[in-house]
């Protein structure tokens, strides 16, 4: 579980509202009525009886009279239950847009139920509220590179790249869909193809300290006509000893610089982050990426299922919230 956030400015800047699929019903259980606890999204016992929030189809099967039918929006920031001002801020913004809301606070997140026909309008209000908070925040500076250079990898880097990524799969198993065992079984030619695919289907950038590869990130491209405008950012990893040096920012800069100069046909970059990986989320958000949905049960680990947050950034908007602390960091990122 991630650490809760209490600071209002940080909460607003990090709300990440996500519209969950389906319709949800507020209902009051009458004598003799019951609902399987596994299907109850929220409940509270009042003097008048038990109120529940359930999916609309569950309410229909249980014969519950709907008191309110709404859409369910989750704020993915981990809000402290003692935080002051978040509920007031988003309910005020929704109210000024003429949108009513019913709020349920979970142990980690706030959940907002709005009239179903106003779901997208509510999302627009919440996204504007978050963006406004970010615009008002002090401009974040990317850390200056500390002895790190970034370059596109070539076939001769395949052995070092393989060793780095096998370390990544072992050290951060929740962050990747591949396992060390899967990738260890791949021949060297697979790693060479990932780095220097003859068809141009992928490109990999590496962060070096002297001659040692300490980080990497890859871009994958689609050959399909309907999706060739998108690039997938994958395999981001920086060794623990190189974190805090600006390597992650430089890797992102290098990847996006490649798209701007070599792949003008690419207009948007998409990626996924394991839910709860706050350091990665901060890095991507600071570069202009925004979450647009969460995939539940995206991967299965020995500890259970983990969700993946999907993020996107237009290439022409990348870096709008990032300013290098000196020009050398930006220059060093050029491939």
> 159: domain CATH number?
3.40.630.30
- What crossing angle do the helices spanning 119-136 and 86-96 adopt, rounded to 10°? 120
Among 101, 121, 137, the domain-final residue is: 137
> What residue numbers bound the domain in which 25 lies?
8-137
Are 146 and 255 members of one domain? yes
Are 152 and 58 members of one domain? no
Are 168 and 133 members of one domain? no
Point out the least confidently predicted range of 6-20, 192-206, 247-261, 311-325. Answer: 311-325
Taking CA atoms, 5 is separated from 60, 84, 125, 228, 303, in Å, by 38, 11, 22, 38, 25
Are 99 and 174 members of one domain? no
pTM score above 0.85 = no
The mean per-residue pLDDT over the stretch 254-266 comes to 89
Are 320 and 189 members of one domain? yes
Q: How confident is the model at residue 120 (pLDDT cuts 50, 70, 90)?
A: very high
pLDDT tens across 171-216, in order?
988 899 999 999 999 999 999 989 977 778 899 999 999 899 999 9
Whichever domain contains 37, its CATH number is 3.30.2130.10
The mean per-residue pLDDT over the stretch 130-145 comes to 59
Within-domain flag for 2:
no
Among 101, 122, 137, the domain-final residue is: 137
Euclidean distance between CA atoms 221 and 255, whole angstroms = 12
What is the pLDDT, as a whole number, of residue 134?
67
Residues 6+ apart with CB under 8 A from 190: none
What is the pLDDT, as a whole number, of residue 331?
26
Among 137, 165, 199, the domain-final residue is: 137
Within-domain flag for 58:
yes
What is the pLDDT, as a whole number, of residue 138?
55
Is the separation of the CB atoms in 257 and 269 below 8 Å?
A: no
Euclidean distance between CA atoms 251 and 147, whole angstroms = 14
Mean of pLDDT over the chain = 87
Asked whether residue 137 carries a pLDDT value surpassing 70, the answer given is no
Asked whether residue 328 carries a pLDDT value surpassing 70, the answer given is no
Q: For the chain, how many structural domains are there in total? A: 2
Are 167 and 122 members of one domain? no
Within-domain flag for 132:
yes
What is the pLDDT, as a whole number, of residue 281?
87
Beta strands in 100-229 (DSSP E): 102-105, 110-115, 140-142, 148-152, 202-209, 212-221
Are 268 and 293 members of one domain? yes
């Amino acid at each position: 579980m991630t650490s809760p956030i209490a600071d209002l400015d940080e909460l607003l800047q990090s709300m990440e509202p996500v519209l969950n699929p389906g319709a949800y019903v507020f209902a009051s259980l009458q004598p003799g009525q019951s609902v399987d606890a596994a299907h109850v999204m929220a409940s509270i016992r009042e003097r008048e009886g038990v109120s529940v929030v359930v999916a609309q189809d569950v309410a229909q099967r249980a014969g519950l009279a709907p008191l309110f039918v709404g859409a369910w929006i989750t704020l993915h920031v981990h809000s402290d239950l003692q935080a002051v001002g978040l509920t007031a801020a988003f309910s005020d913004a929704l109210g000024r847009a003429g949108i009513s809301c019913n709020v349920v606070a979970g142990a980690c997140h706030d959940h907002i139920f709005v009239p179903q026909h106003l779901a997208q309008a509510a999302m627009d209000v919440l996204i504007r509220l978050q963006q406004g908070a970010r615009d008002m925040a002090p401009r974040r500076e990317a850390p200056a590179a500390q002895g790190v250079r970034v370059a596109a990898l070539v076939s001769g880097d395949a052995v070092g790249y393989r060793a780095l990524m096998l370390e990544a799969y072992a050290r951060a198993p929740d962050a990747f869909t591949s396992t060390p065992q899967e990738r260890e079984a791949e021949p060297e030619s697979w790693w060479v193809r990932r780095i220097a695919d003859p068809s141009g289907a992928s490109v990999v950038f590496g962060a070096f300290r002297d001659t040692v590869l300490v980080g990497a990130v890859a871009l994958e491209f689609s050959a399909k006509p309907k999706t060739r405008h998108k690039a997938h950012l994958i395999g981001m990893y920086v060794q623990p000893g190189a974190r805090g040096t600006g390597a992650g920012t430089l890797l992102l800069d290098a990847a996006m610089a490649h798209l701007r100069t070599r792949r003008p046909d690419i207009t948007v970059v998409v990626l996924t982050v394991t839910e709860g990986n706050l350091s990665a989320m901060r890095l991507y958000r600071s570069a202009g990426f925004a979450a647009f949905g969460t995939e539940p049960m995206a991967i299965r680990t020995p500890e259970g299922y983990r969700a993946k947050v999907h993020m996107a950034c237009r290439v022409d908007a990348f870096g709008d919230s990032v300013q290098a602390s000196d020009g050398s960091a930006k220059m060093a990122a050029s491939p």
